[in-house]
Amino acid sequence: MKLDKDQKEILIVEDSPTQAEQLKFDLEQNGYQVKTAINGREALKYLEKHKPFIVISDIVMPEMDGFELCTTIKFDERLKSIPVILLTSLSDPEDIVKGLLCMADNFIVKPYDEEYLLSRIEYIKVNKEIRKREQSQLGVEIFFAGQKHLITADRMQILDLLISTYETAVQKNHELERAKEELAELNSKLEEKVKNRTEALSAEIEERKKAEERIRKINRIYHVTSNINQTIVRSRSEEELFKEVCGIAVEIGKFKLVWIGLFDEKTKCVCVKSYRGIVDSPVSLSVKLEDEKNKDNTVAVAIETMEYGICNNIQTVHGTKPWEELAYKNDYHSVCSFPIIVFGKPYGTINLYSDQRNFFDEEEVSLLDEMALDVSFCIETLINEEKRKKAEEAVFQAEEKYRDLVEHINDIIYSVDKNGIVTYLSPAVEKILGYKPEEVIGKHMNYILKDFQITEAAELFMQTLAGKLNMVEYIIYTKEGMPKWTRISSSLMIEQGEVIGVRGVISDIMEMKNAEQELIRAKENAEEMNRLKSNFLANMSHELRTPIIAILGFAEFLQNEIRNPEQLEFISYIIEGGQRLNNTLNSLLELSKLESAKLEPEKSYCNVEKKLKEVIGTIKDKVLKKNLSLSMNVNTKNLSAKIDESVFEKIMLHLLDNAVKFTNRGGITITLEKEIEDHYEWAKVSVTDTGVGISKESMENMFSSFRQISEGYNRSFEGLGIGLTITKKFIELFKGKILVESKLNNGSTFSILLPTTVRDITFEKAAELQKEPPLTESEIAVKKEKPKILHVEDNEATRIIIKKYLFKYYDVDQAEDGITAIEKAAETKFDLILMDINLGYGIDGVEAMQRIRVLSGYADTPVIAVTAYVLSGDKEKFLEQGFTDYLGKPFTKDQLIQLAQNHLVNYQSKKNN
């Protein structure tokens, strides 16, 4: 239906959202544009700005009803031409009169259908022009329901309302006719319905009997589950639980047989653990799940799927062995197996047998499945309870062990509340101070102090409670009045975030204090020993270095072979200890060389920045291990100094090692810059840390040998205390200076000044480019023919290690003395010889080397001295005697392979040329 633009908009006034939405939908389906309002006042607000084609309004609404709305519209000059349709149920004849009084254009009686509604709207559209031509209005007074009413509606409005009323009456007559026809049809079918109803009642009675039987059965199941739940609460063992469950299911549930079996994961069998009912000997029966004949058994289904398995007609279903014979013999017809699931895994089954076919349905199975879950929960509880008892026993034994430890430990264990009242003292207090624990416990700690100590002790106690003090050395007087030095270590006792007291350990340190005095008295003897150390270290060098190579070598080899984390940790300790021993030995030997003035540095121009970066790379792991920051600032580029690179590296390592050792928070900064001082140009390298700092007293002795900022039995840091001594002596070799700025607890800055000049470093880069890079281990490994190496060494451990190092890449032969080495060299042409110097007996390594040199083909063969003679001048001496190169013990695998490969490459190059 095509509508004019001015005939499209309809306003619906309806307080029921559902009815308004339905009416809106019907109209929009027929091309109308629909607006809605929930009462008369909202409609009038809309009409102030809009003029719809028709207003359709419900009568009964809040705030303003339909009659009042219609009256307002009709008495408004701008709106009165809008047709108004009122929706009514015509429950009161007075509605017609009210409709005439408010001048409504039409009525639609609820309920209405869509066609009738559309016809009323169409009727209004057709008659709208007629209404426009009527100019006069009639005023007629009527009496209705005892009241006088003035009707001002025009004739068309009255006629529309009368037609509407008539159509409504006709509609009601049609409805009455249809009702009459339906009544006649009902009467004709009444007899048939009575008959059908009678049959239905009979069926219903039969169904009710079945329902009653079912209810009795369900009640029985409920009774079973209820009693089993009570049993679960009481049961203290698995055996007791199973026995009670089987008994309740048979006696109360009226099942013919109930048995519970447990599943064995290893044998894949379910074996009977408890049963009750009519059966000869089910205890001997079991279900082996792997047997083909048991694959569809209800027990197998319950275990494998962890859901119940049902067979409601045992005697007609195959796959129920070995239970078929049992069913035939005892007239069982239905069986259901419920899984017992413990900690998420199948634990066993509860198996119920009935003499009725189709006994188990969904509702009963659901209840019984719940019962099986309860049994599972009970078993978990019993298992957890057993674990708890074992844990409590373990705790009890641990407490007994701890109590025994506390009672027999030599130190006093104590606790004091925040008010200073002693709450615990271990028995050691009697041995150390002469008091019995019960004498002091419950009293204030001042009880064991002298009067002159109380004020100081109170201040120390307050610092401890504030977390500022956790250890102090303090004199406590014994019960007999004798002073005794003690070390009091303490920690805070905290509950719910609040400090409630202090606990800790009191140690007797009288012996340590006496030892300190002994150390002072032994100072002169130590100074004498210091004068002897250089000669002693020189003589012991060979004996100390030889076993170190075995320790580090075997440890490094094992580290690459072993995969056990704990053993790897042990090996790392061995390597760390060996390296520490090696570093200590090197430091002692360096000091010996420096003090004997036998160290002559090999000076050459070195790019300081480049060398610093290399050194920093070696120290990074230590820095990261302590969570410290590490940075380098270069203020002057291309600074080079005439120094011995290896000695400079040792200087920086000593300074950086100290910075890492004495810094626990913050970080380390290395600064390189040029400085002009005393008309000289210096390369200034500064190492700044945020560590413990140095007191003025300690700075006076900081460059003395074997001195540290903390000394004695309780010293805070490792090392011999010779690092700065060596550093200072090295710097003096370069005509340089070392400066220190430090404040206790506020970090330190060590600066070294080296004579320098700004140089062009392009020559260094060119030299680097000319160097042939050494082959990697993988490049060595791919060569088709392994180079032959002869290793001469009298120490068996060293021979094993070096062979382990080299055998993957080279063909290694070994000799333990000089004569054997000469014989092997005469028989086989070797590409490289590694020669120890001190071969124990017979000729030494120097003579062996010189004899091999005269053999055919060995004049240019590289022979490397591998020795523990590493004192000043040793290397130069061995090179003068004819060795190609020198390797001091101990050394690493990489150092050995690198040195060997360099010489093999050079040797092959010479042979090819």
3-state secondary structure 374-405: HHHHHHHHHHHHHHHHHHHHHHHHHHHHHHHH
Kindly report whether the peptide bond that precedes residue 322 is cis, defined as omega within 30 degrees of 0: yes
Q: Could you give the angle at the alpha carbon of 191 between the alpha carbons of 185 and 192, nearest 5°?
A: 85
Residue pair 225/216 in contact by the 8 Å Cβ criterion? no
Report the C-alpha gap between 265 and 511 in whole angstroms.
63
CB contact set of 697 (below 8 Å; sequence gap of 6+): none
Query: What is the pLDDT confidence band of residue 850, given thresholds at 50, 70 and 90?
Result: very high
Report the C-alpha gap between 679 and 713 in whole angstroms.
47
Q: Give Dmax (Cα) for the chain.
A: 157
Q: Which residue ranges make up each domain of the chain?
A: 5-153, 218-386, 410-517, 600-766, 772-912
pLDDT reported for residue 130: 59
List Cα–Cα distances, 717 to 519, 712, 830, in angstroms.
Answer: 19, 11, 49
- Four-way CATH pick for 410-517: 3.40.50.300, 3.40.50.10190, 3.30.450.20, 2.60.40.1230: 3.30.450.20
Query: Which among 823, 820, 814, 821 is positioned nearest to 796, based on CA atoms?
Result: 814
Quickly count: other Cβ atoms within 10 Å of residue 838's Cβ: 16
High-pLDDT (> 70) share of the chain, %:
77
Residue pair 223/252 in contact by the 8 Å Cβ criterion? yes
The answer, yes or no, to whether residue 612 has pLDDT greater than 60, is yes
Find how far residue 856's CA is from the centre of its chain: 69
pLDDT reported for residue 741: 87
pLDDT reported for residue 765: 41
High-pLDDT (> 90) share of the chain, %:
19
The answer, yes or no, to whether residue 648 has pLDDT greater than 70, is yes
pLDDT reported for residue 539: 60
The answer, yes or no, to whether residue 762 has pLDDT greater than 50, is no
Residue with tokens 């060119």: 766
Q: Could you give the angle at the alpha carbon of 855 between the alpha carbons of 849 and 859, nearest 5°?
A: 70
Q: Do domains 410-517 and 772-912 have the same CATH topology?
A: no
The answer, yes or no, to whether residue 2 has pLDDT greater than 60, is no
3-state SS assignment for residue 240: helix
Phi-psi region of 589 (alpha: psi -120 to 50; beta: other; left: phi over 0): alpha
CB contact set of 74 (below 8 Å; sequence gap of 6+): 80, 84, 102, 103
pLDDT reported for residue 730: 73
Tell me which CATH code domain 5-153 carries: 3.40.50.2300
What tokens were used for 860?
């240019």
Report the C-alpha gap between 44 and 11 in whole angstroms.
11
pLDDT tens sequence across 555-583 = 877 887 888 888 888 888 787 777 777 77
- What's the N-to-C CA distance of the chain in angstroms? 110
Residue pair 534/595 in contact by the 8 Å Cβ criterion? yes
Report the C-alpha gap between 345 and 515 in whole angstroms.
65
Q: What is the mean pLDDT of residues 452-481?
A: 89
Query: Which among 613, 643, 606, 618 is positioned nearest to 631, based on CA atoms?
Result: 613
Report the C-alpha gap between 676 and 684 in whole angstroms.
10
Find how far residue 904's CA is from the centre of its chain: 52
pLDDT reported for residue 618: 82
Report the C-alpha gap between 603 and 644 in whole angstroms.
4
**Amino acid type, 53:** F
Report the C-alpha gap between 53 and 105 in whole angstroms.
13
pLDDT reported for residue 742: 84
Q: What is the DSSP letter of 775?
A: P
What tokens were used for 573?
């300790």
The answer, yes or no, to whether residue 293 has pLDDT greater than 70, is no
The answer, yes or no, to whether residue 320 has pLDDT greater than 70, is no
Report the C-alpha gap between 177 and 189 in whole angstroms.
19
Per-residue 3-state assignment (H helix, E strand, C coil) for 781-811: HCCCCCCEEEEECCCHHHHHHHHHHHCCCCE
Label residue 122 exposed, middle or buried (CB < 10 Å: 0-12, 13-18, 19+).
exposed
Query: What is the pLDDT confidence band of residue 790, given thresholds at 50, 70 and 90?
Result: very high
Q: What is the mean pLDDT of residues 704-729?
A: 54
Report the C-alpha gap between 129 and 4 in whole angstroms.
15
Query: What is the pLDDT confidence band of residue 758, given thresholds at 50, 70 and 90?
Result: very low
Which string of DSSP letters, residue by residue, matches 663-712? -SSSEEEEEEEEEEETTEEEEEEEEEE-S----HHHHTTTTSTT--SS-S
Pairing type for strands 334-342 and 309-311 reads antiparallel
pLDDT reported for residue 713: 36
Query: Which among 31, 26, 33, 34 is positioned nearest to 1, based on CA atoms?
Result: 31
Q: What is the mean pLDDT of residues 85-91?
A: 75
Q: What is the mean pLDDT of residues 91-111?
A: 76
Between 81-85, 335-339, 464-468, 603-607, the lowest mean confidence (pLDDT) is in 603-607
Residue pair 758/751 in contact by the 8 Å Cβ criterion? no
pLDDT reported for residue 120: 82
- Highest mean pLDDT: which of 333-347, 705-719, 730-744? 333-347
List Cα–Cα distances, 681 to 642, 732, 755, in angstroms.
Answer: 12, 16, 6
Residue pair 54/27 in contact by the 8 Å Cβ criterion? no
pLDDT reported for residue 7: 66
Quickly count: other Cβ atoms within 10 Å of residue 704's Cβ: 12
Report the C-alpha gap between 473 and 896 in whole angstroms.
51
pLDDT reported for residue 444: 92
- Four-way CATH pick for 218-386: 3.50.50.60, 3.20.20.150, 3.30.450.40, 3.90.25.10: 3.30.450.40
Quickly count: other Cβ atoms within 10 Å of residue 48's Cβ: 9
- CATH T-level topology, domain 600-766: Heat Shock Protein 90 (3.30.565)
pLDDT reported for residue 839: 87
- What are the backbone angles phi and psi of residue 667, rounded to the nearest 5°? -175, -170
Axis crossing angle, helix 155-234 with helix 94-101, rounded to the nearest 10 = 120
Quickly count: other Cβ atoms within 10 Å of residue 504's Cβ: 20
pLDDT reported for residue 772: 43
pLDDT tens sequence across 257-289 = 898 999 988 888 888 888 888 765 554 556 666
Query: Which among 53, 52, 23, 20 is positioned nearest to 37, based on CA atoms?
Result: 20
pLDDT reported for residue 161: 62
What tokens were used for 726?
């060596």
- What are the backbone angles phi and psi of residue 879, rounded to the nearest 5°? -70, -40
Q: What is the mean pLDDT of residues 867-890?
A: 86
Q: What is the DSSP letter of 442?
A: T
Between 416-430, 478-492, 642-656, 756-770, the lowest mean confidence (pLDDT) is in 756-770
Report the C-alpha gap between 240 and 231 in whole angstroms.
9
Residue 675 forms beta bridges with which residues?
A: 682
The answer, yes or no, to whether residue 148 has pLDDT greater than 80, is no
> Cα Rg for the chain, rounded, in angstroms?
54
**Amino acid type, 254:** K
3-state SS assignment for residue 150: strand
Q: What is the DSSP letter of 776?
A: P
Query: What is the pLDDT confidence band of residue 849, given thresholds at 50, 70 and 90?
Result: very high
Query: What is the pLDDT confidence band of residue 550, given thresholds at 50, 70 and 90?
Result: confident
Which string of DSSP letters, residue by residue, matches 198-254? HHHHHHHHHHHHHHHHHHHHHHHHHHHHHHHHHHHHH--SHHHHHHHHHHHHHHTT-
Instruction: Calculate the average pLDDT of the chain.
Output: 80
Residue with tokens 């790392």: 572
Instruction: Quote helix, strand, coil % in the chain, to nearest 5.
Output: 50, 20, 30
Give the residue ranges of DSSP H helices in 683-740: 696-699, 723-733
pLDDT reported for residue 526: 61
Query: What is the pLDDT confidence band of residue 3, given thresholds at 50, 70 and 90?
Result: low
Quickly count: other Cβ atoms within 10 Å of residue 420's Cβ: 18
3-state SS assignment for residue 291: coil
CB contact set of 527 (below 8 Å; sequence gap of 6+): none
The answer, yes or no, to whether residue 538 has pLDDT greater than 80, is no
pLDDT tens sequence across 652-694 = 888 888 888 888 888 999 999 888 876 778 888 899 999 888 8
- Four-way CATH pick for 772-912: 3.10.450.350, 1.10.357.10, 3.90.950.10, 3.40.50.2300: 3.40.50.2300
Residue pair 149/97 in contact by the 8 Å Cβ criterion? yes
